[in-house]
Structure 1
């Protein structure tokens, strides 16, 4: 890729953004930034220093001196470090998932993360996924994409992920969680999930992962040719 590009990929939880972006970045030879992992890392740290979130005080004051780094692996993935400690596995636990909402809804936290994401993207081309990448973090991104999928398909994918790990889950509960998460993400006070009018839209419900990756790679290559 001859010139720096920022590719912003947004979409609801479970739409396959992270997997698709990682694989597309690997094929294109550019960096993938996992914005969700940054919020998870901050949640991990805050729970570590302040287990009672309600009594934690101002989040931005506690995280202002943190050093968060993402190191990228040959397979297109990434590892997340907080003050030199690899927390990549710990940030994927149910405890983090259950607490991340209160952290990511904090305006000061989102400003901290957005500044960090912009710094990471300053020198080279990146693909970054989230819920407000194209609307807030990079409103002038070279390419904006919105990946979507039906609630039923996203529930099926989530159930499959659990089954691959040997876990049995309640399908109806997973579906209801996704519906609730959509409602929350679309009504958050800051950084809510929106479909940008200038974003390319793709419903991935009936598509295989490789088809979506190929579509995204082609969209990036087409954007390169027209800019």
Structure 2
């Protein structure tokens, strides 16, 4: 079976960009688990669903989140019940609420079940916050990306600006700090590096350097 690769880390560490490119380089399939939680959050906000566990878990059971290759084939397009939401799920409004939505055990159980189904066949590169610890604890390779708060703020701010979204840099920093706090302290599947994960500080590294490092480990290293 082809290897599964888990890439975890906090908001703005670069894990989604890196995971997409690693998958492309190694000929594997990329699955953005964060986009799944964001899509569910977007749907809840659009339909006025209470941000409470029972309502959200029910919503998750009745939601279809799918991916299609993007124009460059490295950036997947995200669809929620057939509607493309690739850009909408990165809005500040969704970013403010996604940690709350993802903190509920019932929601995580539903989406984790979907993620593990994708991983069962092998050949998956998956990024998130609990991939190496919960979703794919037996992944062949595990990586945990970090970066300074300042650098993560800069990256997210530039990302949102390029999409034409109205945003202030200080607001982005505050959102990332709040997200870090919520992710680290949630009762179920908190943000943490797996004991056997390779930790990479990306603060002063280019995307290409991080991708090269991971690919080198996967091609030359010994899987678990």
TM-score, normalization by structure 1: 0.88
Query: Where does 1:106-117 land on structure 2 (aligned, <5 Å)?
Result: 106-117=104-115
Cross-structure match for 1:185: 183
Please tell me whether residue 209 in structure 1 is matched to residue 184 in structure 2.
Answer: no
1:102-153 deviations in Å (ceiling 9; x for gaps): 2111111101110101111222401111110011111111111001111122
Moved more, 74-83 or 101-110: 74-83
Which of structures 1 and 2 has the bigger CA Rg? 1
Q: Distance in 1 between matches of 2:87 and 2:171?
A: 24
Aligned ranges 1:65-144 → 2 under 5 Å: 65-73=62-70, 74-144=72-142
Q: Which runs of 4+ in 1 moved over 6 A?
A: none
Is residue 31–residue 72 contact of structure 1 (8 Å, CA) maintained in 2?
no
CA contact (8 A) 1:186 1:193 kept: yes
Indicate whether 1:58 and 2:55 are aligned: yes
Asked if residue 29 in structure 1 is aligned to residue 21 in structure 2, the reply is: no
Cα distance in 2 for residues equivalent to 1:177 and 1:55: 20
Residues 173 and 139 (structure 1), Cα distance of their counterparts in 2 relative to 1, 3 Å cut: same
Aligned position for 1:151: 149
Structure 1 99/135 Cα, relative in aligned 2: closer, same or farther at 3 Å?
same
Total equivalences in the alignment: 223
> Hey, what's the Cα distance between the residues in 2 that align with 1:167 and 1:102?
22
Identify if the C-alpha distance between structure 1 residues 202 and 65 changes in structure 2 by more than 3 Å, giving closer, same or farther. same
Q: Distance in 1 between matches of 2:187 and 2:112?
A: 16
Q: Which string of whole-angstrom CA distances, capped at 9 and with x for unpartnered residues, describes residues 58-79 of structure 1?
A: 3222331322222234521212
Unaligned runs of 5+ in 1: none
Aligned-residue offset at 1:56: 8.6
SS in 2 for 1:53: coil
Report the Cα distance in structure 1 between the residues aligned to 2:167 and 2:65, rounded to whole angstroms: 33
The 3-state SS of whatever aligns with 1:66 is coil
- Which residue matches 1:48? 46
Q: Which residue of 1 aligns with 2:14?
A: 16
Write the distance in 1 (CA, Å) between the matches of 2:58 and 2:103.
15
Q: CA deviation at 1:169?
A: 4.8
How big is the alpha-carbon RMSD for the aligned residues of Structure 1 and Structure 2?
2.2
C-alpha spacing 1:171/1:28, structure 2 compared with 1 (3 Å):
same
Q: Which whole-Å CA distance do the structure 2 matches of 1:57 and 1:177 have between them?
A: 25
Alpha-carbon contact 1:7-1:128 (below 8 Å) kept: yes
Q: Distance in 2 between matches of 1:29 and 1:186?
A: 32
Structure 2: gaps (5+ residues): none
